[in-house]
Amino acid sequence: MALLGNLRHRPVRRLVQLYLGLTLYGVSMALMIRSDLGLDPWDVFHQGLSELTGLSFGTVTIGVGALVLLLWIPLRQRPGLGTVSNVVVIGLVVDATLALVPTGGPLSVQIALLTSGIVANGAATALYLGANLGPGPRDGLMTGYVARRPGRSIRLVRTIIEVTVLALGWLLGGKVGLGTVAYALAIGPLAQFFIPLFAVPEGTEPDSAAPPPGNPAPATPAG
């Protein structure tokens, strides 16, 4: 039951919104990759591992998501349907999109790919969080850690984790650049803009696995 969460309240809308959001998230990641202008911290890490192992970007994303989800066990976090779906769907979609979208050529095309990717990522984050069926594994790791240690700041924990994976990814060959900075500056405001548009009104029994609507933990699907 914990995995499925409370689907009695608007189940069709929430499931459609969840999978639309996860699909759009995978597409947005591929657009940023094809821009070749830099990625968000987790995707720099995923790209670095992909370069090291020879595995596809999506396969690495799925593998890292599954490993992060295992770290929920000592934190006593319970995944929702959205959490498990996040691990699988985003990786499959990003690989499919990469197979269809060529690497951007002129700088104007690269900027267009980067911009559309970041905006789509903000909308995708709001869609799957608004479905309230569980956070992504990476966000759940951060919120779960802070829940077990109430004195810690979630922003500080997020910063430490993301700086660490960014540095590791860069050392492994992941792309850090303009896109990395643009994503860091834009994703918070974009998520805050989109979340009220896609939030599903609460039923009588909100999901325990999802983060409070007022404190979203945006963008990391790769969440």
The C-alpha atoms of residue 49 and residue 66 are separated, in whole angstroms, by 15
Low-confidence ranges of the chain (pLDDT < 70): 1-7, 203-223
The pLDDT assigned to 189 comes to: 92
Residues 82 and 133: beta-carbon distance below 8 Å: yes
Q: Hey, what are 193's tokens?
A: 């803009």
Helices (H), the chain: 11-35, 41-53, 57-70, 72-75, 81-100, 107-130, 137-148, 154-171, 178-198
173 Ramachandran zone, left/alpha/beta (phi>0; psi -120 to 50): left
* Residue 10 backbone phi and psi in degrees, to 5: 45, 55
pTM, two decimals, is: 0.84
Q: What angle do CA 219, 123, 217 make, to 5 degrees?
A: 30
Residues 17 and 130: beta-carbon distance below 8 Å: yes
Q: Hey, what are 202's tokens?
A: 């609460």
Please count the residues of the chain: 223
pLDDT per residue over 172-193, tens digit each? 999 999 999 999 999 989 988 9
